[in-house]
């Protein structure tokens, strides 16, 4: 049955339309003045009903693709074979799709063919009920053929029709379902959840790029990303897309340092503690301890008694993180940054014993802000001691009026002029000279050159 709603429950808004909405309304009016049915559809309707500002607006219509394109001055052939035309208006791209029903999905991604139909059948081929609503902004009414309004009121994610069939059609819908539940703070309807568990293995057929994009949104947009990660594990999706992360489950840690429990619990706690995370930070948190499962052993601690150890897990984890991120086709710059964060996360334990030169180099790193926040979350997700975090924050404040790493006073040419032959000795002396400068052991360039002359004589 079709349900319509009043303006105040999701119809005509009480506030001025945004520029995006004005463009979508103009497209709608153009289609309707030519005698075609047309509505806003999908995620934008869901967002409006939740009081959120839509990031994009899709339009569905009874007009065929060859009828849509001539009506607008600038269009893009997004998927004409599937009945989708892109309409460009004021720099924004709107997808205008003909009502359709779909055949089998042989590749687990796209239908083999589509048949143009009406609004009711179009709603019934969509993924989840909350995404299968249509909106008439002129009359201020929502058209609901699948019970999406009730699911929104009960805050649950439910597949349209047979969940098994929906997930066999497009396997990525399983990840999308968990994303919607996690970002909207909804529950998963039982039959839909059971179908995800049953079909989770099919996610292996999805391209790394599509999995990557869903994973990033789950980690950066979820109300509780750690809880979302548990959902992925419980559904059986995590062992397929990130087996290295799933391997953290049940890997115990020394309780004196990690009273929270196993490695997976630690990572989930950290994820839940993030606040508006960047992709770089979210991935660094997710992967910072990925090297613990393969390095876990029992050995003597500082007091000589045996305990659980993860020696070199930072270095092992950095190598694993690089392989994981490259497998998921992340950009090179992001891979390098996350790998650096994973490799360096253990050195924050020793910052109060570091020489000034090493501290300044640490703070000057382009990934320092991410590393520092990773350290804060690492502490809060375990022992809770933020002493080193506050030490670094205070030390960085003392460097605000000067560059973290000033230009060196001496260079290779200076050493050649002092008679040092070309070779690795020049590199060693330059490093030591720069440390002397940063540590404040010499006052100026002349004093540093005198110090170098003494070192060269000793050599």
pLDDT at 11 (0 to 100): 42
E-assigned strand segments in 71-125: 75-79, 84-89, 92-98, 100-102, 114-116
Q: What fold does the segment set 161-238 form as a domain? A: Hydrophobic Seed Protein (1.10.110)
Average pLDDT, rounded, for the chain: 90
Mean of the pLDDT values across residues 131-158?
Answer: 96
Q: What fold does the segment set 7-154 form as a domain? A: Beta Polymerase; domain 2 (3.30.460)
Domain boundaries in the chain? Answer: 7-154, 161-238, 242-395, 412-458
Which among 354, 360, 325 has a CA at the least distance from the CA of 341? 325
In which residue are the tokens 């009502």 written? 99
Same topology for domains 161-238 and 242-395, yes or no? no
pLDDT at 306 (0 to 100): 86
Segment 286-332, tens digit of pLDDT: 999 999 999 999 988 777 788 889 999 999 999 999 999 999 999 99
Q: Which of the four pLDDT bands, split at 50, 70 and 90, describes residue 164?
A: very high
Segment 25-48, tens digit of pLDDT: 999 999 999 999 999 999 999 999
Backbone angles phi, psi at 429, to 5 degrees: -65, -40
Decide which of 1.10.3210, 1.10.246, 1.10.287, 3.30.70 is the CATH code for 242-395.
1.10.3210
How many CB atoms sit inside 10 A of residue 444's CB? 9
pLDDT at 442 (0 to 100): 80
Q: Which of the four pLDDT bands, split at 50, 70 and 90, describes residue 274?
A: very high
Segment 49-94, tens digit of pLDDT: 999 989 999 999 999 999 999 999 999 988 767 789 999 998 899 9
Q: Which long-range CB contacts under 8 A does 272-280 form with residues at least 24 apart?
A: 272/224, 272/225, 272/226, 272/227, 273/377, 273/380, 273/381, 274/225, 274/377, 277/219, 277/220, 277/225, 278/220, 278/370, 279/216, 279/219, 279/220, 279/334, 280/334, 280/337, 280/338, 280/341, 280/367, 280/370
3-state secondary structure of 76: strand
Segment 17-26, tens digit of pLDDT: 889 999 999 9
pLDDT at 44 (0 to 100): 95
Segment 391-436, tens digit of pLDDT: 999 998 887 766 666 788 889 888 888 888 888 888 888 878 887 7
Backbone angles phi, psi at 368, to 5 degrees: -60, -45
Q: Which of the four pLDDT bands, split at 50, 70 and 90, describes residue 216?
A: very high
* DSSP one-letter code for 128: B
Q: Which of the four pLDDT bands, split at 50, 70 and 90, describes residue 109?
A: low
């Amino acid at each position: 049955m079709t349900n319509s709603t009043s303006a105040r429950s999701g119809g005509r808004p009480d506030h001025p339309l945004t520029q995006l909405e004005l463009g979508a309304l103009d497209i709608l009016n153009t289609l309707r003045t030519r005698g075609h049915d047309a509505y806003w559809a999908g995620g934008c309707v869901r967002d409006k009903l939740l009081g959120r500002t839509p990031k994009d607006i899709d339009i569905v219509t009874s007009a065929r693709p060859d009828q849509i394109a001539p009506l607008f001055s600038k269009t893009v052939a997004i998927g004409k074979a599937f009945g989708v035309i892109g309409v460009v208006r004021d720099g924004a791209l709107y997808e205008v799709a003909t009502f359709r029903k779909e055949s089998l999905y042989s590749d687990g991604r796209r239908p083999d063919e589509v048949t143009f139909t009406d609004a009711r059948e179009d709603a019934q081929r969509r993924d989840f009920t909350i995404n299968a609503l249509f909106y008439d902004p002129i009359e201020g009414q929502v058209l609901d053929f699948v019970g999406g309004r009730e699911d929104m009121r009960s805050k649950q994610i439910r597949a349209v029709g047979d969940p098994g069939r929906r997930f066999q059609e497009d396997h990525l819908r399983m990840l999308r379902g968990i994303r919607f539940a996690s970002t909207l703070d909804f529950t998963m309807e039982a039959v839909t959840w059971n179908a995800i568990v049953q079909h989770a293995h099919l996610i292996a057929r999805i391209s790394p790029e599509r999995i990557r994009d869903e994973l990033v949104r789950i980690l950066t947009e979820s109300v509780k990303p750690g809880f979302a990660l548990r959902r992925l594990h419980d559904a059986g999706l995590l062992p397929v897309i990130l087996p290295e992360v799933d391997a953290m489950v049940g890997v115990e840690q020394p309780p004196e340092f990690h009273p929270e429990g196993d490695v997976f619990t630690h990572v989930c706690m950290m994820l839940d503690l993030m606040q508006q995370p960047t992709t770089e930070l979210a991935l660094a948190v997710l992967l910072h301890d990925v090297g613990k499962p393969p390095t876990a052993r029992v050995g003597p601690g500082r007091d000589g008694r045996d305990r659980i150890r993860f020696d070199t897990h930072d270095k092992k984890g950095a190598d694993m993180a690089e392989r994981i991120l490259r497998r998921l086709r992340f950009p090179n710059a992001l891979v390098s940054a996350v790998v650096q964060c994973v490799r360096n996360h253990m050195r924050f334990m020793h910052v109060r014993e570091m020489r000034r030169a090493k501290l300044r180099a640490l703070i000057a790193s382009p990934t320092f802000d991410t590393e520092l926040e990773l350290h804060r979350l690492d502490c809060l997700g375990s022992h809770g001691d933020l002493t080193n975090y506050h030490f670094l924050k205070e030390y960085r404040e003392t460097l605000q009026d000067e560059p973290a790493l000033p230009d060196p006073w001496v260079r290779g040419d200076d050493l050649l002029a002092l008679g040092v032959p070309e070779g690795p000795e020049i590199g060693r002396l330059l490093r030591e000279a720069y440390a002397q400068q940063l540590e404040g052991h010499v006052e100026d360039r002349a004093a540093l050159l005198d110090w170098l002359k003494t070192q060269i004589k000793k050599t």
